[in-house]
Structure 1
Amino acid sequence: MAEDWFTIVLRLALYLDMAAGFGVAMFSVYALGHDERSLAIARRYRVCVGVCAVIGIGLSVIGMTVLAKAMSGAQTYSELSTHIFEMLITGTHMGLAWCIRILALALCILIALVKFNPTFRFVAMSVSSGVALATLAWAGHGAMDDGMRGYIHLASDISHLWAAGAWVGALLAFLILATSRANATQDTVAILSRTSNGFAHVGTLIVFVLAASGVVNYVLIAGPSLDPLVSTLYGQLLLGKLMLVLGMLALAAANRFRLSPSLEASLGSGNRAQAVSKLRQSLFMEATLAVLVLASVAWLGILS
């Protein structure tokens, strides 16, 4: 049981880390203007994505070690041989996905370190971190089916991961903006106001993709019946996850229709600190719910 909890925590850490890296990189592409990608806040985003990639490699190595121990039946990690790792990495789809993830994350780190055009840098980091995030589909139910059904399941899982990553990363990007030491300046608050007000279209697309892919995933796993929602642990966890997502949507609506317009109005009045503080508190609450959602996803992924 202790090993199951360690696996869940490890999966949660991977989901959080990879989602954050991909989402922040994407946010820098669709939310920041060309000139803004050269500002200090963009440099913080670049560092954030690079650090997420470094952590992602470390977590992936730990994850592969845990998987090797479980698959080999070894009692201790000291019993693991290089042959077991070679067999897992070269002989399974999960191992191939793991290799692609490591390469994609290493590329992301390289892009973060080397001097590039800021726009090209964030686009390239979005692609590499997006590929890395997509490989997590092979570590869950997405890899349980064969043939066309398997391709549909993987595509749905990857879409779900990307949409979730875009949401989680946007929350982190907003929090970085809202907690920046420069948040008292007119320019930084103006960026926060514009991006929070303009997130509605992207947010709507994210919610649509999450809903559509979530329905597809449920049908492929549990079948076209609602009975498992109340009769199985999987269904009960899924219902809990849906309640948390509804809470996130309620907070997002408050941000969109009350707090963001209030922040925009404060730009003219000069009373920015209070408006930023209220938005920051709401973002922290939404981010907390996001962590709980990903924790439920990490648990759901190990259930049969």
Structure 2
Amino acid sequence: MSDSIGIALRFGLYVDLMLLLGLPLFGLYSLKGRERVSGAVLPFRLMLAGTAALGLLLSIASMVVMASAMSGETAFAELRPHLEMMVLETDMGLAWVVRIVALVVGGLAVMLNHRAPGVGLLVATIAGGIALSSLAWNGHGAMDEGIRRVWHFTTDILHLLAAGVWLGALVALALMAKANVLQTEERIRLLARAVTRFELVGALIVVVITVTGVVNYLFIVGLELDDLFLSTYGILLFIKVTLFAGMLVLAALNRFHLGPFLQRSLRNGQYWVAANALRRSVVLELAAAVLIVGLVAWLGTLSPEMEMAAE
């Protein structure tokens, strides 16, 4: 039960902090001027303040569950010294404190900055990136030492940041493509422009995720393949890679077919078919992304070396 709770909390934190990075960043590169005001296109204040608050709750719960699992204590009085030790005397605890501060700053930035929404989104993006990066200290890189530890953390953080930018963009595009939102040609044009602006960002994301994914695999597993796919870790990794390949197919479909199709349809006024097709593709891509994040949360609790040694 404790393992499943830990995985659920990891999953919640990954999704939450990825959105805290990806959503405001999407507002910066895809929207302009008054479009960035909360409610004009996307409800930034509600979404970002909500993700910051939820991130605080999930972070606290995650630390309590982790301390309880490591100490075996359940009563708060006995658990408190273990919590204090983890927070104050470990690198993971320092990363946790940095995350808490970043979440508070990010939440306040979008709640209090009404006159300059772009500045609020920028601060929220930076805070979200810092908070998301802190999750690297909960991963496999924390078990390394020396220069290997530095490089492993670097690739972990880049992988997390790229995934967060992608997930946030997919959620934003899915919200912009909702049928009840696309009621005017202006909204359709705004969606088409957002898809076009995401193209370069999306291409960069794919490169970063692919390269860092391969490097992380080598750090965690190495070149050993014989027993990998006989382990739970290997099976989950295979499913993750398959889903990622499916996302690449959908992303290519959006980039080379559905996006241009929507642009062409705007010229002849027959844009509903193109908009609906794009919406379905984005929702499918988003579903695959959420499943991948769930698998990542599970993979982070497994040790491939121990599993393969046990075979």
Q: TM-score, normalised by structure 2?
A: 0.92
1:204-228 superposed Cα distances (whole Å, 9 cap, x missing partner)? 1101111111111111111133335
Asked if residue 100 in structure 1 is aligned to residue 102 in structure 2, the reply is no
Residue 43 of structure 1: how far off its partner (Å): 5.0
Residue pair 2:44, 2:110 contacting (<8 A) in 1 also: no
Residue 126 of structure 1: how far off its partner (Å): 0.5
Residue 265 of structure 1: how far off its partner (Å): 2.1
Residue 189 of structure 1: how far off its partner (Å): 1.4
Sort the Cα spacing of 1:228 and 1:131 in 2 relative to 1 into closer, same or farther, 3 A.
Answer: farther
1:59-106 superposed Cα distances (whole Å, 9 cap, x missing partner)? 1111011011012111x3445443222111001111111111111001
Residue 196 of structure 1: how far off its partner (Å): 0.9
One-letter amino acid matched to 1:99: V
How many Å separate the matches in 2 of 1:47 and 1:180?
Answer: 21
Residue 266 of structure 1: how far off its partner (Å): 2.5
Sort the Cα spacing of 1:219 and 1:227 in 2 relative to 1 into closer, same or farther, 3 A.
Answer: same
1:186-239 superposed Cα distances (whole Å, 9 cap, x missing partner)? 222111101112322111110111111111111111113333542432222111
Equivalenced residue count is 302
Sort the Cα spacing of 1:77 and 1:174 in 2 relative to 1 into closer, same or farther, 3 A.
Answer: farther
Aligned ranges for residues 148-167 of structure 1 at < 5 Å? 148-167=147-166
Residue 174 of structure 1: how far off its partner (Å): 0.3
Asked if residue 233 in structure 1 is aligned to residue 232 in structure 2, the reply is yes
Residue pair 1:45, 1:173 contacting (<8 A) in 2 also: no
Residue pair 1:68, 1:80 contacting (<8 A) in 2 also: no
Aligned to 1:248: 247
Aligned ranges for residues 1-304 of structure 1 at < 5 Å? 2-38=1-37, 40-42=39-41, 44-74=43-73, 76-78=74-76, 80-115=78-113, 116-179=115-178, 181-304=180-303
How many Å separate the matches in 2 of 1:287 and 1:33?
Answer: 24
Unaligned regions of 5+ residues in structure 2, if any?
304-311
How many Å separate the matches in 1 of 2:180 and 2:157?
Answer: 36
How many Å separate the matches in 2 of 1:163 and 1:296?
Answer: 17
Unaligned regions of 5+ residues in structure 1, if any?
none
**Further displaced range: 256-265 or 267-276:** 267-276
How many Å separate the matches in 1 of 2:171 and 2:238?
Answer: 25
Residue pair 1:23, 1:166 contacting (<8 A) in 2 also: yes
Residue 269 of structure 1: how far off its partner (Å): 2.6
One-letter amino acid matched to 2:173: F
1:5-43 superposed Cα distances (whole Å, 9 cap, x missing partner)? 221111111111111121111111112123422373455
**Further displaced range: 147-156 or 275-284:** 275-284
One-letter amino acid matched to 1:48: M
Residue pair 2:228, 2:234 contacting (<8 A) in 1 also: yes
How many Å separate the matches in 2 of 1:77 and 1:280?
Answer: 48
1:258-279 superposed Cα distances (whole Å, 9 cap, x missing partner)? 2212222222233333322221
How many Å separate the matches in 2 of 1:29 and 1:228?
Answer: 45
Q: 3-state SS of the aligned residue for 1:249? A: helix
One-letter amino acid matched to 2:146: G
One-letter amino acid matched to 2:205: I
Sort the Cα spacing of 1:271 and 1:90 in 2 relative to 1 into closer, same or farther, 3 A.
Answer: same
One-letter amino acid matched to 1:157: D
Residue 45 of structure 1: how far off its partner (Å): 2.7
How many Å separate the matches in 1 of 2:147 and 2:227?
Answer: 24
Q: 3-state SS of the aligned residue for 1:40? A: coil
Sort the Cα spacing of 1:262 and 1:39 in 2 relative to 1 into closer, same or farther, 3 A.
Answer: farther
Q: 3-state SS of the aligned residue for 2:43? A: helix
Residue pair 2:42, 2:176 contacting (<8 A) in 1 also: no
How many Å separate the matches in 2 of 1:180 and 1:40?
Answer: 17
Q: TM-score, normalised by structure 1?
A: 0.94
How many Å separate the matches in 2 of 1:148 and 1:283?
Answer: 39
How many Å separate the matches in 2 of 1:23 and 1:142?
Answer: 23
How many Å separate the matches in 1 of 2:296 and 2:154?
Answer: 17
